[in-house]
């Protein structure tokens, strides 16, 4: 009888491209567009039958990070402000072009703060899929859907291409430069590029999500219920808080964070509940920054009834938090309009190794079961949801963190909060280091706002030891805490745009991406409209 290692497989070489991009999420679709627009014959390999990744299939439809998102104090010019929208627009270029196209097609709601689409609000995933298909076709990018890149073709530490599998069987596709935008550094890991997984002390990762859209909601009945709930006394609120901490927070303190010096801090407020007398107008105008009271009281009673299983992967025996209903940025948008009779909710986080398919499979089953329990809870305990039903669950598991490559430079949390600049800047970022609890326990996380926008250097995209490979999107070279800033979708789009341009220029010049003249890349990005320098900055910052 043959053993597994005695079988030999030979895959045909079916294509040769200048640039091959693996993964069609925010980093990947941007890399493909940027590479093609810089003159490279480009192929984009996507495991699903649509592009967009977390933006579309993962239902992570709140685009957060095109501006610096510091919510308190003064703006970066030292002038007191009242709104985050006064902060500068940091992400431009093709990345902003995608959002403009999306808004023109009815895939976003224009709330009119500054008359541009770079705002925190949901998108319509179906419209995004259409826009990305059209932009790929216009740019001349070849796309292979339903194709999984499972290995790297490597000779003497040089990546020559990738091995894929699809309906046509196993194949090898050769490339001058490969951009790994798989989201999990799959190709980099297969090529034996060094990487890290999770936080240093224990390897724990951000939780994965499994969202769903719920319809059939009687909105007026639900709001009337919330408005008329009895108000709790101070003692009742204190008892509720203690109970929530014990059952849902692992004994931690709500809203607390760890600071950079290892002390205990508190997350500042980033919004306010919508007063009841404003609610009708807010909904009439289609504003999505609507914040209503949560359902924690009802959920705690449901948990105590024994209807909820223990939280998957949490560090302690504890229970998952209640479904988020009608909280900011969770409203589905259909054809340019907010649908208040629907909500996007579901499992926000469960903890498992998102590079291990056995663990992923167990988590999918648990999260799907948990979404069914959420629906049962809403139907039984929350007026207005008696006839609610699941419209759809996200076809892709939401992933926040997995592998992070070790690159020529590793961006740190100090770089982020101090707003550091680098001579090889390829992107600006102003999002906080938003590191959720990786254990489930309240307070086991960070929320560190940058004082001013910080640079992402090109070296973070270049893995050590391996040539002709660039990494874009979530797995770039950053620390676990800095990853809390760069993992969001707009920074992933930025690094994809830079990686695609770098790959195209490297392929044309016949140089390894590691040795690419950074000035050539920066000129290409500036020509595409990318913002590399603020008004008070000039090129040539001192390296870290």
Task: Give 159-178 as a DSSP string.
Answer: EEEEEEEETTEEEEEEEEEE
- Name the residue among 432, 342, 352 with its Cα closest to residue 397: 352
Q: What is the total residue count of the chain?
A: 544
- State how far the Cα of 525 lies from the Cα of 529, in Å rounded to an integer: 7
Contacts of residue 482, Cβ cutoff 8 Å, sequence gap at least 6: 411, 412, 413, 415, 416, 433
Angle between helix 489-509 and 518-527 (nearest 10): 120
Outline where 164-295 has alpha helix (H).
186-190, 219-227, 234-248, 276-284
Contacts of residue 75, Cβ cutoff 8 Å, sequence gap at least 6: 81, 86, 87
Question: C-alpha distances in angstroms, 253 versus 237, 243, 271, 288?
Answer: 14, 11, 20, 29
- State how far the Cα of 504 lies from the Cα of 42, in Å rounded to an integer: 9
- Pairing mode, strands 169-180 and 13-22: parallel
Question: What is the reported pLDDT for 116?
Answer: 58
Q: CB–CB of 456/495 below 8 Å? A: yes
Question: What is the reported pLDDT for 339?
Answer: 81
pTM for the structure as a whole: 0.92
Question: What is the reported pLDDT for 389?
Answer: 97
- State how far the Cα of 456 lies from the Cα of 179, in Å rounded to an integer: 17
Question: What is the reported pLDDT for 130?
Answer: 97
Question: What is the reported pLDDT for 136?
Answer: 98
- State how far the Cα of 129 lies from the Cα of 304, in Å rounded to an integer: 42
pLDDT in tens, the chain (544 residues): 445 555 667 899 999 999 999 999 999 999 999 999 999 999 999 999 999 999 999 998 878 788 887 654 433 333 333 345 457 789 999 999 999 899 889 888 765 544 456 665 678 999 999 999 999 999 999 999 999 999 999 999 999 999 999 999 999 999 999 999 999 999 999 999 999 999 999 999 999 999 999 999 998 898 889 888 888 899 999 999 999 999 999 999 998 988 887 776 776 554 556 677 777 777 777 665 556 667 999 999 999 999 999 999 999 999 999 998 755 445 777 877 778 888 889 999 999 999 999 999 999 999 999 999 999 999 999 999 999 999 999 999 999 999 999 999 999 999 999 999 999 999 999 999 999 999 999 999 999 988 899 999 999 999 999 999 999 999 999 999 999 999 999 999 999 999 999 999 999 999 999 999 999 999 999 999 999 999 888 776 554 4
Contacts of residue 295, Cβ cutoff 8 Å, sequence gap at least 6: 322, 323, 325, 381, 382
Question: What is the reported pLDDT for 121?
Answer: 67
**Helices first, then strands: H and E counts in the chain:** 13, 20
- Retrieve residue 103's tokens: 């808004």
Question: What is the reported pLDDT for 78?
Answer: 37
Instruction: Calculate the dihedral angle through the C-alpha atoms of 352, 356, 359, 365, rounding to the nearest 10 degrees.
Output: 100
Residue 210, judged by CB atoms within 10 A of its CB (0-12, 13-18, 19+), counts as buried
């Amino acid at each position: 009888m043959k053993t597994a290692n005695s079988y030999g497989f030979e895959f045909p070489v079916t294509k040769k491209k200048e640039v091959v991009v693996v993964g069609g999420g925010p980093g990947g679709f941007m890399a493909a567009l940027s590479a093609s627009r810089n003159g490279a014959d480009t192929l984009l390999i996507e495991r699903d039958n649509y592009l967009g990744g977390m933006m579309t299939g993962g239902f992570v439809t709140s685009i957060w990070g095109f501006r610096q998102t510091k919510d308190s104090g003064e703006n970066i010019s030292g002038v007191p402000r009242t709104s985050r929208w006064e902060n500068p627009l940091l992400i431009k270029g093709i990345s902003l072009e995608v959002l403009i196209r999306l808004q023109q097609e009815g895939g976003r709601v224009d709330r009119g703060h500054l008359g541009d689409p770079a705002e925190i609000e949901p998108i319509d995933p179906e419209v995004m899929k259409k826009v990305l298909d059209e932009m790929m076709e216009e740019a001349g990018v070849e796309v292979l859907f339903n194709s999984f890149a499972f290995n790297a073709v490597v000779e003497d530490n040089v990546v020559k291409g990738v091995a894929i599998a699809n309906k046509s069987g196993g194949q090898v596709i050769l490339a001058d430069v490969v951009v790994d935008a798989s989201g999990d550094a799959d190709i980099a890991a297969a090529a034996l590029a060094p990487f890290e997984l999770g936080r240093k002390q224990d390897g724990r990762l951000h939780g994965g999500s499994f969202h769903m859209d719920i319809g059939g909601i009687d909105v007026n009945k639900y709001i009337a219920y919330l408005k008329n709930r009895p108000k709790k006394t101070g003692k009742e609120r204190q008892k509720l808080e203690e109970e929530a901490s014990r059952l849902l927070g692992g004994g931690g303190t709500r809203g607390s964070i760890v600071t950079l010096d290892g002390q205990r801090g508190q997350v500042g407020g980033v919004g306010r509940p919508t007063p009841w007398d404003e609610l009708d107008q807010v909904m009439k105008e289609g504003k999505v920054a609507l914040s209503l009271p949560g359902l924690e009281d009802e959920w705690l009673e449901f948990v105590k009834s024994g209807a909820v299983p223990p939280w998957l992967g949490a560090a302690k025996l504890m229970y998952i938090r209640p479904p988020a209903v009608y909280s900011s940025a969770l409203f589905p948008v259909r054809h340019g309009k907010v649908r208040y009779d629907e909500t996007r909710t579901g499992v926000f986080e469960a903890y498992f190794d998102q590079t291990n398919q056995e663990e992923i499979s167990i988590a999918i089953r648990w999260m799907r079961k948990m979404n069914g329990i959420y629906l049962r809870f809403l139907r039984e305990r929350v007026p207005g949801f008696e006839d609610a039903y699941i419209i759809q669950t996200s076809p892709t598991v939401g992933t926040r963190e997995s592998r992070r490559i070790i690159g020529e430079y590793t961006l740190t949390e100090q770089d982020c909060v101090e707003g550091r600049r680098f001579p090889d800047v390829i992107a600006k970022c102003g999002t906080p280091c938003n590191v959720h609890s990786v254990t489930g326990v309240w307070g086991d996380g960070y929320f560190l706002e940058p004082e001013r926008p910080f640079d992402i250097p090109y070296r973070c995209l270049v893995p050590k030891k391996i040539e002709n490979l660039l990494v874009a999107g979530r797995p770039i070279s950053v620390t676990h805490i800095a990853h809390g800033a760069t993992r969001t979708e707009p920074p992933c789009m930025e690094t994809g745009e830079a990686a695609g341009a770098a790959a195209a220029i490297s392929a044309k010049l016949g140089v390894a991406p590691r040795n690419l003249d950074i000035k050539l890349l920066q000129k290409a990005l500036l020509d595409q409209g990318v913002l590399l320098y603020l008004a008070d900055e000039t090129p040539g910052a001192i390296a870290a």
